[in-house]
Amino acid sequence: MLEARQLSFHFSPGEPLLESVSLMLNAGQWVGLSGDSGSGKSTLGKLLAGYLTPQVGDITLDGAALPKNGVQPVQWLPQSPELAVNPRWRVGKILREAWTPSDAQCEAFGVHAHWLSRFPQSLSGGELQRVCVLRALVPGVRFLIADEISTMLDPITQVELWQALKREAEQRQLGVLVISHDEALLKQLCEHRYHLSAGLLKRI
């Protein structure tokens, strides 16, 4: 279980962004997170994945602190994949940085073999996003923070990506926090939903 307890966080002292935020994510569970732009959704996602440290509160995985080395069991998937890849690496090297997905997994996520010899700048944002999502499914991952990952995809590709992720998450019992402005998408994908507003997290 991934648990955030009573997190408070600010970037500048005196300007709190999150106040006593608590959230639990079980293995295999899909939870939605919405909120106004700038309310701190991505910040909460980065805290859960260990990219940021809260000033107050703690984040635990099965009761222990997140590991500092090795495969990160909580993977944060950002909205802009081009910021998450080395522009000097070819797509094949990026995809296989930590593990080698099977041909069937590449097919399920719509990752084409002919992209692998290209550089990431030559892929569309949506194509590169699919590469990054598949890259994050490294063995050992337990939870995914999917931060607006389908925003740049066309509706059909969006459905295909979520279906592939659902299948993979179900097989491996991955817990997924879906961050999105799209309430309809969250309703469709998630059993529980939360809304972040004025630093407070509320179940909706």
Residue number, 24 or 198, with CB nearest to ligand ATP: 198
Distances (CA, A) of 7 to 106, 133, 142, 169: 37, 27, 21, 27
- Strands of 143-147's sheet in order across: 74-77, 143-147, 175-179, 30-35, 192-197, 200-203
The footprint of ligand ATP (CB under 6 A) covers 11, 17, 35, 37-43
Start-to-end CA span in the chain (Å): 21
Residue number, 147 or 168, with CB nearest to ligand ATP: 147
Distances (CA, A) of 1 to 28, 38, 45, 124: 10, 27, 16, 35
Residue number, 17 or 108, with CB nearest to ligand ATP: 17
Contact 157, 189 (CB under 8 A): no
- Sign of the alpha-carbon dihedral angle for 101, 156, 168, 151: positive
Residue number, 42 or 72, with CB nearest to ligand ATP: 42
Q: In whole angstroms, how close is the CB of 44 to ligand ATP at the nearest point?
A: 7
Q: In whole angstroms, how close is the CB of 147 to ligand ATP at the nearest point?
A: 7
Give the amino acid at 70: G
Single out the residue of 76, 17, 75, 32 nearest to residue 179, CA to CA: 32
Q: In whole angstroms, how close is the CB of 102 to ligand ATP at the nearest point?
A: 33
Q: In whole angstroms, how close is the CB of 53 to ligand ATP at the nearest point?
A: 13
Q: In whole angstroms, how close is the CB of 52 to ligand ATP at the nearest point?
A: 8
Residue number, 179 or 190, with CB nearest to ligand ATP: 179
